[in-house]
Structures are given as C-alpha cells and as structure tokens.
Amino acid sequence: MSDIKYSNEQIARAATNIRKQILGIALERGGCYLTQACSSAEIVATLYMDILNIGPSLGNPEAQPFPGVPSPDNMDYPKGSLYNGAHDPDKDRFFVSCCHYASVIYCALAECGRISHSALKKFNVDGWNMEMIGAEHSPGFENTAGSLGQTVSIAAGTAHAYKLKGCTGKIYCMLSDGELEEGQAWECFQAAAFYKLDNFVIYVDVNGQQVEGWTKDVMNIEPMIERMKAFGWEAVEVNGHDIDALKAAAKTPHEGKPLMILCKTSPAQGIPLLEKMIPKHFVTITEADRAEFKKFYDEM
C-alpha cells in the first residue's frame, strides 16, 4: 500500500471528488463516461489509496504531448505504467482492462498526488496523453486496454512470470462486468487457476450495464460466484461502495487460487439525477438537462 496512510474519510472524499470532476468534464464537453465514474469511484480510490503496494510515481505530473500511435520512428513516448511506480519485484502491478474508465484513473491519480489536477485540463484534448480511452501511454495504464486488448490475459501472464521469478508483488487487474462476456477472459480464468496464480487479484465493477443496455438482458453473466469457483478461483461479492468491504476483500484467503472480487455497484451512485438515464454507457448532457446537472454539480 501507499507510504501515505489514508483514512476512510479521505478515500470517500476522493471518490466524491472523482465523480464531481468527471461530471464537470461532462458539463464542459457535453458528455463523458459518467456512470462508470459513479460506479467505480470507491473501487479505484481504495485501490490507489490503500490496497495497492506501489512505489512513488515515476511519471511527469503534468500532461504530456503524445504525437500519435507508436511506430519504429515514434517509441519515445511517456509510458502510462510509470505513474504506478517502478516494477520492483516486491511491488504490486495494476492493469486496467476497462479502458473507458480512463477518466476515473486519471482523477484517482490526481487525488493521491501521482499527477497534477491541472493535467486533467488536457483530458481528451488531441495531441496529449490524457485520452478518453486508455492505452499504454495513458497515465495509470500498463497496456492498450479493453477486453479485446486482452488485458486480463496480459495481467495473468505477468502474475505467472512473477511466480516463476519468485517476486513477492501481486498483480491486480480491474474489469467491468460486460467484459465477462468475452471468451478470451474465460480462457484466462482457466489458465490462471491451472497455474495456481494466487498472486493474481481481479476487481470487477459489476454495475449491471453495458453499451447495449442491462447486462442481464444482453448476455447474463450470473451466477458469477459459482462460475468462478467452478473454474478453480476463490470469489467473493462485496458492496463496491463500501470502503471497508473493498479493503477486507483483498485479504480473502486464496492460497493456490487466484481471487476475483465482484463489486456490486450503482451507475448512479453519488449522482441520483442519473437514475432517469440508466442504463447509459456514455452520458450526454443535453441542454434540457444541463441546468439541473449544473445545479447539482455546484452543490456537490
């Protein structure tokens, strides 16, 4: 965990600040992945401010120019993993698979001093590394992410390498529940259990929605606890807005098995005005709704 000891009150305040910052972006730009911020704010804040054992950031605290997709002539770009500290064998690694949660990651990094708050002004501005969809140059991201980017498999492979090398650090990965419909994720789960990767921990934001609507209506993934245990994992379910529960889940005994923590969340948590919109993968704030959301923002 961080050398700085954060209280639950500080973590809760950071989660509120994450939601407010991203609501502000949505108001300024007309839209953002706002429901994901509502559902995952406590998860990401608790990971960065308590659970993860990572060293000081090695990244530039200010937003960095990014000239474009890496090529043989363009490999000298800022690496997102630097913001999670050095890859020392006794330190943890954090892989973010849900790449559309990039704004949440950036805001969490700002809340614990790994990037500056001024860097957030470059969010989704062309030519900068603070992109709306996370990739290997985005602060806090180890790799080009997303379920089709096979982040969970890359994370599991890293966990396997750590065990082979005798490294004591753990490998954490964050998924969203819609990604659990992706076939390669289940191939990863099978392999991780086979290799007894008990240094591998996944936090899943189970907010119940995806781009096409409610997950239960598009492709139901439940019962996840039973399914993961059948695959040879330890699995627990917690309230994803309960900081103590999120902390305790990371300490679940899972010797010889990887661990999945299913965090049940609400995509309108902290911003009840969203209840009338969900399920909503990308929130667009129309002129008709703007005044109401702006008033709520000012009162947060």
Is position 276 within any domain?
yes
Q: Convert 237-250 to b/e letters by CB count within 10 Å (16 or more is b).
A: bbebbbbebbbebb
* pLDDT confidence bin for 145, thresholds 50/70/90: confident
Q: Which domain holds residue 234?
A: 8-299
101-130 per-position pLDDT tens digit = 999 999 999 999 999 999 999 999 999 999
Answer whether residue 149 shows pLDDT above 70. no
Is position 150 within any domain?
yes
CATH number of the domain bearing residue 254 = 3.40.50.970
- Which contiguous run of DSSP H or E holds residue 264? strand 259-264
Is position 1 within any domain?
no
CA distances for 262 relative to 6, 21, 180, 236, angstroms = 23, 25, 11, 6
Classified as helix, coil or strand, 95 is strand
Is position 278 within any domain?
yes
Structural domain count of the chain: 1
DSSP assigned state of 259: E
Is position 2 within any domain?
no
For the chain, how far is it from start to end, CA to CA, in angstroms? 29
In this prediction, residues 169-196 reach a mean pLDDT of 96
* pLDDT confidence bin for 288, thresholds 50/70/90: very high
256-279 per-position pLDDT tens digit = 999 999 999 999 999 999 999 999
- Reading the block at residue 54, the tokens are 């990572």
Answer whether residue 45 shows pLDDT above 70. yes
- Residues 233, 36: Cα–Cα separation, whole Å: 26
pLDDT at 73: 67
Instruction: Classify 29 in phi/psi space as left (phi over 0), alpha (psi -120 to 50) or beta.
Output: alpha
pLDDT at 16: 98
Residue 182's identity, in one-letter code, is E
10-34 per-position pLDDT tens digit = 999 999 999 999 999 999 998 999 9
Residue 124: phi and psi, rounded to 5, are 60, 25
Is position 125 within any domain?
yes
In this prediction, residues 30-40 reach a mean pLDDT of 96
Is position 165 within any domain?
yes
Is position 108 within any domain?
yes
